[in-house]
């Protein structure tokens, strides 16, 4: 795929021009406080680059999942405030998306200034399945740029969505690939086209069903596939182990058996936990103990015990695979990392990755939140993706609408 780049746009001249930038400001909040500003930090370089070149930058982004109408708890304001604090740019925030506030502030923008529109998902047309509705909303967004506008997609975390601000807008304005998207693409191509071996993939998170396609695609590419998190229990059950009250997707048991069989045929080693931290209930005050994966129900909590993390032996085993790898991709925590008692498996994986000299990619979403929550720094890893779902869909081999829309522009 070939794209027009941000450097091309700047070389053509952006002084005095309105440039509409799709950024990823979808950050976690505690009330109105940003708890992980990783995506905001990753979005700043492109906004800064355009502002420094004299563009009048209009940033559009989403936050959370509002139901197509304004909802104060999903306002973009906390993210906009944090972007202004981190960048030092002249930033204003509209109180609507394409309404009177956005129109007036866009018209008043001066060279090098930045306007952040309210959450684009406050307008139901952003995510509509109706092409005409999305196109109408995209036209309103494009109109904010006046007669000589341009569009830059720098939101890798949204390129797998066929949304107005990601897909339809690229047909209305000269469209360019942002530097963050270019970096993400370069990294993911390394994982899919020519990974240096041994290639280890670590998958976690709650459900096997969320990772079916990526497992299917990676079985023939990875040397070792390490599986933790809630999804591990469906694999353990598929092997014949009882898993107590742990998360289990009964409808995926046959699929997991098929993966275990196919992995052997393809020479890919699927590695499952050998021990598990089992708890009496889900909560920070839960009693817990370590059980072998083959005897989860044999402890204090019997058949009601919940597996909430991989155990210490599993953590060390996973770490040893990571330390011996030359390429590692990790997506999904090993347990309920938000609760300290169930965070050690995730910490073991993160620590091994931080120490490794391998080309390492942390696949965004909960994995990125986990490493920061546990006290690791971004520069301890080869690359922390800003796009959890987008990263997975790329590795699945799916077509990403936000990228195809950019490629279509000549």
**Helix orientation angle between 388-396 and 179-193, rounded to the nearest 10 degrees:** 40
Separation of alpha carbons 187 and 118, rounded Å:
31
Active site residue 207: yes
Comparing CA positions, the residue from 61, 80, 56 lying closest to residue 23 is 61
41, 82, 92, 207: the active-site residue = 207
Active site residue 305: no
Which residue in the block uniquely carries the two structure tokens 């699929």? 255
Binding site per annotation, positions: 24-26, 39, 62-65, 121, 161, 211, 307, 338, 364-367
Task: Tell me how crowded residue 67 is: count the other CB atoms within 10 A of its CB.
Answer: 10
Buried b (16+ CB within 10 A) or exposed e, 154-190: bbbbbbbbbbbbbbbbbebbbbbbbbbbbbbbebbeb
CB 115 within 8 A of CB 57: yes
Active site residue 196: no
383 secondary structure, DSSP code:
E
Active site residue 389: yes
Separation of alpha carbons 331 and 99, rounded Å:
39
Binding site per annotation, positions for ATP: 211, 307, 338, 364-367
Separation of alpha carbons 122 and 127, rounded Å:
10
Which residue in the block uniquely carries the two structure tokens 């129900």? 297
Separation of alpha carbons 31 and 187, rounded Å:
34
335, 345, 365, 388: the active-site residue = 365
Which strand (E) or helix (H) includes residue 75? none
Q: Decide: residue 58, CB within 10 A, 0-12 exposed, 13-18 middle, 19+ buried.
A: buried
17, 22, 39, 162: the active-site residue = 39
Comparing CA positions, the residue from 334, 332, 329 lying closest to residue 311 is 334
**C-alpha to C-alpha distances, 146 to 21, 107, 346, nearest whole angstrom:** 14, 8, 49
Binding site per annotation, positions for substrate: 24-26, 39, 62-65, 121, 161
Binding site per annotation, positions for (2R)-3-phosphoglycerate: 39, 121, 161
Buried b (16+ CB within 10 A) or exposed e, 314-337: bbebbbebbeebbbbbbbbbbbbb
54, 68, 99, 389: the active-site residue = 389
Comparing CA positions, the residue from 200, 207, 253 lying closest to residue 228 is 207
Task: Tell me how crowded residue 228 is: count the other CB atoms within 10 A of its CB.
Answer: 29
Catalytic residues: 39, 207, 365, 389
């Amino acid at each position: 795929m070939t794209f027009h780049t941000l450097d091309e746009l700047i070389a053509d001249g952006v002084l005095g021009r309105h440039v509409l930038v799709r950024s990823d400001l979808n950050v976690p909040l505690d009330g109105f406080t940003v708890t992980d500003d990783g995506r905001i930090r990753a979005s700043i370089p492109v906004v800064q680059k355009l502002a420094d070149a004299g563009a009048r930058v209009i940033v559009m982004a989403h936050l959370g999942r509002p139901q197509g109408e304004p909802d104060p708890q999903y306002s973009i304001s906390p993210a906009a405030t944090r972007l202004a604090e981190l960048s030092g740019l002249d930033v204003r925030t509209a109180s609507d998306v394409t309404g009177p506030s956005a129109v007036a502030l866009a018209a008043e923008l001066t060279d090098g200034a930045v306007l952040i529109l309210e959450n684009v998902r406050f307008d139901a047309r952003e995510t509509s399945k109706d092409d005409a509705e999305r196109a109408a909303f995209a036209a309103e967004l494009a109109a904010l740029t006046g007669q000589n506008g341009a569009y830059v997609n720098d939101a890798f975390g949204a390129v797998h969505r066929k949304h107005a601000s990601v897909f339809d807008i690229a047909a209305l304005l000269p469209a360019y690939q942002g530097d963050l998207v270019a970096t993400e693409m370069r990294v993911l191509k390394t994982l899919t086209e020519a990974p240096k071996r041994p290639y280890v993939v670590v998958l976690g998170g709650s459900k096997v069903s969320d990772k079916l396609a990526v497992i299917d695609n990676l079985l023939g590419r990875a040397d070792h596939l390490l599986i933790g998190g809630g999804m591990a229990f469906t694999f353990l059950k598929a092997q014949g182990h009882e898993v107590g009250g742990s998360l289990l997707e009964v409808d995926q048991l046959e699929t997991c058996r098929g993966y275990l069989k196919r992995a052997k045929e393809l020479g890919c080693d699927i590695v499952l936990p050998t021990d598990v931290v089992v708890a009496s209930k889900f909560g920070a005050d839960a009693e817990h103990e370590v059980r072998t994966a083959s005897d989860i129900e044999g402890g204090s909590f019997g058949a009601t015990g919940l597996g909430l993390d991989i155990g210490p032996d599993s953590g060390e085993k996973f770490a040893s695979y990571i330390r011996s790898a030359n390429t590692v991709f990790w997506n999904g925590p090993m347990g309920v990392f938000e609760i300290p008692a169930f965070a050690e498996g995730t910490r073991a994986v993160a620590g091994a990755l931080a120490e490794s000299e391998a080309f390492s990619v942390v696949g965004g979403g909960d994995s990125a939140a986990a490493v920061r929550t546990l006290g690791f720094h971004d520069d301890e890893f080869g690359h922390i993706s800003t796009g959890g779902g987008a990263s997975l869909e790329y590795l699945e081999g799916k077509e990403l609408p936000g990228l195809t829309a950019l490629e279509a522009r000549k």
